[in-house]
Every structure is written in C-alpha cells, then in structure tokens.
Structure 1
Amino acid sequence: MNTHFFFALVLPDDIKRHLHNQTDEVKSAFPFKKWLHPADYHITMAFLGNAEDTMKEEALEKIKRALANEQSFELKVEGIDVFGKKESPRILWAGVKQEERLTFIQKKIYASCVEAGFELDKKPFKPHITLARKFEGETPFSINEARQLANPEAKAFQASQIALYQTHLGASPSYEPVYTINLQ
C-alpha cells in the first residue's frame, strides 16, 4: 500500500483540543464522511506524496539547514470556512490569521523540497487546518450555521515545530510525525 509524506507545522495539544471542542456541535448538525482525529490537525507546508527515501532525506537535510536560525513565532487560529461548493463542501477547515512569518517559513520548506527534486503543487499557499472531508448531508450545508454552532473564537499559540509526517491510510489517527524540527 502506498504511503504519503508531507511537511507541516505542528499544532500544540491545547490548540488541537480547542478546535476539537469547537467542532462537536457542528458534527451533530452537518454530516461529513470523515472527521479528522484531533491528533491529525496540522498546517501543511509541502505535500510530497509517495516519496523515495533518498529524496525525503535530502529534503529533510535542506529544510533543517534552511530553518536552523529561524525563531518560533505567534500564530492565531480563527474562524472556519470551506473549500468546494458552499452547499456541499469538500473540506471544512479552521483558519489561521495571515502571518508573514508563516508564509516565509513555508516558502523555505517548499524551495528546499523542490531543490531535492520534488514536484509540488503550485497553488498559492492557503494556511488552514482541515477538520472534516466530504460533506454528505441531504440538506445543503450552511457555513453561517456552522460558524454559529462552532462559535470559533480566535486563540493564539506559539508555532515552534515543523514535522515530516507519514500517512497511514485507514488508521485513526492517520498521520505519524517521523521527524520533527524545532524552531529556536
């Protein structure tokens, strides 16, 4: 079975609990095919797909060098939204307040992966935390109602770790950090 790898910003456990608590009410009102396990919450920086060990190791070494002097920084999760059709979304996600440091770090990770030979998605970076996938409701989804149920208050945290994750399809939680890089 193929496994996938990706680099992501690690979220602290209290932020994962905060997001999970916000989605409890939404879960009962809006059925999605898959609600992510709270341990799987993260912010993807570069999706590698099925990667050869040598390429992964090269990307990891380049990223470690690129981030060697980078400081941790504050981020804020706030709000929820969707990707896909508003009435039948593909993804329900929590937002992250736009922060230049996050974009700067993501660009370093992305460039390091490209230098290591990976062909990455060229879509603009849209930082988000996936909460659920594939809406399956019989009545149309309502983002306004979901926002009222979630009452998504902003919550700040210190962004201090990047991890290389491995996907375990069919497992819950699905994502295993296989290597972690600490920001200073």
Structure 2
Amino acid sequence: MRVFYAIEFEDKVKRYLKNVQDIIKTTTYSGNYTHYTNFHLTIKYVGNIYNGEYEELTAIMDDVCKNIEPFSIRIGDLGAFHKKNSSILWVGITSGKQKLKSLFKELEKEIVESGFEAENRKYRPHITLGKKIVFNNGAISDDLPYFDEPIECSKLTLFQSHRVDGVLTYTPLYQKSFSKGVA
C-alpha cells in the first residue's frame, strides 16, 4: 500500500483550484490533470508500506500532531517543475510556508527514527494541478483568479494512493487534528 501525509482541502479551495486548472487547460496541448477529489498539499511522501507499518505511521501522526498548533496558509503563486518536454504545474504557497516546513521536519524526524527512508530532496510546499503538461505557444493568462482567503490547516491526513477502475485515487486512511494550544 502506497501512502503519504497531506493537508486535505475544503470544497471551496478545490473549486478554486479546478477553476485555475480549467483556465490553464486552454493554453496546453495535453496533460494529466489532478482530479478534483485528489487536490491536497503533500507534507511527506512515505511510499509503500507493509504489515505493521500502518500502525507505526498513525502513532507517529498522533505524536507529531499533539505538538502542532492549527495554522493557516495562503495560496496563489503559479509555477512549474520542468522535465524534458513537459512540466509539473502547481499552485504555490504565499504565506505559511514556514509552518508547513516545520511540520515536514517533525514528521521526517519521527519517520526516519522509525526506520523509514528520509526525503532525498528539499521540501517545497505546493499543490499539483497537473503532470506531463505540454504547453502550446500561448502564454498562461495573467487573468487567473486569486484565492484571497486564508486556508485553515487544523489536521493531518494519511492518504493511500491507489488506482480504482484505472483512475488514480487518494483515499483518506487516518486523520489527526493539530492539538497544541487547543483547549
């Protein structure tokens, strides 16, 4: 079973991301776009887990989340990771990056101490809109809408990444609220 830790979004955030995605699609030839139900903000990719490791990962979540205060982020930057002839297109974090990086570091520390692999690249918080995006000659519109509300981050979710009827699906397996400073 392949799993990762992430912040799950409310529908209003997903609707905004879908709207941006639809505008961008008009400037591309092709791409593998993130499905509406799969929009999330990855904190830590774990990978394949085996017998007994699920319980260990949920225990790590319980331990880490009790030491994290709920926080908010803002989104807005549009960017891409370029690979050969295509790109991974994403929406970036405009505020709250440090809180996300701290959460990543806490999870990473606990996970590595438990024998799981460390991340081999720098953590760059972002929300993936699509992969293998091939742009046509047109530029991305400057008229993309802004999401000008803070996004509350009050819990962490452990997701399973799997295919259901051939469709990539992220299924929540376990959630834990951030509880430091919460009465």
Cα deviation for residue 126 of structure 1 reads 0.1
Kindly report the root-mean-square deviation, in angstroms, between the aligned alpha carbons of the 2 structures. 2.2
Contact 1:37 1:172 in 2 (8 A): no
Aligned length: 177
Normalised by the size of structure 2, how large is the TM-score? 0.85
Scaled by the length of structure 1, what TM-score is found? Answer: 0.85
List runs of 5+ in structure 2 lacking aligned partners.
none
Instruction: Verify the 8 A CA contact 2:161 2:168 in the aligned structure 1.
Output: no
Could you tell me which residue of structure 2 aligns to residue 56 of structure 1?
54
Does the Cα contact within 8 Å between 1:59 and 1:115 map onto a contact in 2? no
Equivalent residue letter for 1:18: Y
Q: In the alignment, which residue of structure 2 is the partner of 1:97?
A: 94
1:80–1:147: 8 Å Cα contact kept in structure 2?
Answer: no
> C-alpha deviations, 1:93-124, integer Å up to 9, x for none?
01012422221111111112112211132211
1:47–1:90 Cα change, 3 Å = same
1:1-184 pair list within 5 angstroms: 3-85=1-83, 88-99=85-96, 100-137=98-135, 139-140=136-137, 145-148=139-142, 150-169=144-163, 171-172=166-167, 174-184=169-179
C-alpha distance in structure 2 between counterparts of 1:163 and 1:32, whole Å = 31
1:151 Cα offset (Å):
3.6
Q: 1:159 and 1:91 mapped to 2: Cα distance?
A: 24
Q: Name the CA distance, whole Å, in 1 between partners of 2:145 and 2:85.
A: 21
Higher strand share: 2
SS, match of residue 172 in structure 2: strand
- Taking the aligned partners of 1:4 and 1:82, their CA distance within structure 2 comes to 25
Contact 2:90 2:129 in 1 (8 A): yes
Give structure 1 regions of 4+ aligned residues with deviation exceeding 6 angstroms: none
Structure 1: runs of 5+ lacking an equivalent: none
Distance 2:141 2:89 in 1: 11
Preserved CA contact (<8 Å) 2:2 2:161: yes
- The percent of aligned pairs where both chains have the same amino acid is 25
Higher helix share: 1
